[in-house]
Amino acid sequence: MPSETIETNSHTLVTIACLSDNYAYLLREKETGVVALIDVPEAAPIKAELNARGWILNQIWLTHHHFDHIDGLPDILADFPAPVYGGAADAHRLPELDVALSDGGSFELGDTQVHVIDVSGHTIGHIAFFAPAAQAAFTADSLMAGGCGRLFEGTPEQMHASFAKMNNWPDDTLICSGHEYTTANIAFALTVDPDNAALQARNNETQSARAAGRFTVPSLMGLERATNPYLRSGDTGLRKELGMPQATDAEVFREVRKRKDNF
């Protein structure tokens, strides 16, 4: 199974393809060598990556309860025992947690501070992990490359509030989302934001990346702000296209999400 690696000054970020279109991530702090695994869709490709690099696991972080983010956990723990971190609000339907996390809380991976943000919408209790020193945020099925996760449990208003929190992250934040859905997300985004030149350019880049077998995640927060329609509720061009010049941002978000459901 393929993987892709990004090196920053302080961290190594490995994106691992799992199942049909899921991603798991390894984040390693170079100074201390400590490693976190973020989400566990399936064990085999993650084990292969760890073994190839000679890494052990120090922490396992879970974003939400869906099977395609947790099912590989028992098999990983058998070979790579590590404390499991997840949302306290989701603890009743996550595997057994060693560390239960709440919105606004934080913890450390080595010397790297990791902030916990409730991003309910796709599910209630879905959390994101934001590590500013690593320039990385793990958003799974909330903020996705060019889109947002389907609203299985939450309302558009809840997801809009979650997106408003994530919209505070700097442009250079690597957005590590849970699936390779970018091609479809961008195709939809063009229907509501057709005159957006940055979006048109992203469409071309996405097409060539996929044709070459490359991942389109992680993406960068600056690119998301420029092209992701769920972060652009206030944009004049998008509002004009929707015929909603006077609506609230939340109403625009709801309309975009509704159109995607019918796309």
Query: Which parts of this chain interact with Zn ion (CB under 5 A)?
Result: 66, 141
In this structure, the chain runs to a length of 263
The reply to whether 118 sits near Fe ion by the rule CB under 5 A is: no
Residue 255 binding: pick among Zn ion, Fe ion, none (C-beta 5-8 Å cut-off by kind) = none
- DSSP label at 179? B
What whole-number distance in Å separates Cα of residue 47 and Cα of residue 164?
35
* Interface mask toward Fe ion for 58-87; x: CB under 5 A: ----------x-------------------
Distance in Å, CB of 42 to Zn ion, minimum: 14
Between the two ends of the chain, the Cα-to-Cα distance in Å is 31
Comparison of 66 and 260: residue with beta carbon closer to Zn ion: 66
Distance in Å, CB of 225 to Zn ion, minimum: 23
Kindly write down the DSSP assignment for every residue of 196-236, as one continuous string: -HHHHHHHHHHHHHHHTT----SEEHHHHHHH-GGG-TT-H
Distance in Å, CB of 65 to Zn ion, minimum: 8
Residue 160 binding: pick among Fe ion, Zn ion, none (C-beta 5-8 Å cut-off by kind) = none
Distance in Å, CB of 246 to Fe ion, minimum: 35
Instruction: Please give the single-letter amino acid code of residue 44.
Output: A
What whole-number distance in Å separates Cα of residue 46 and Cα of residue 72?
9
What whole-number distance in Å separates Cα of residue 174 and Cα of residue 205?
17
* Interface mask toward Fe ion for 162-201; x: CB under 5 A: ----------------x-----------------------
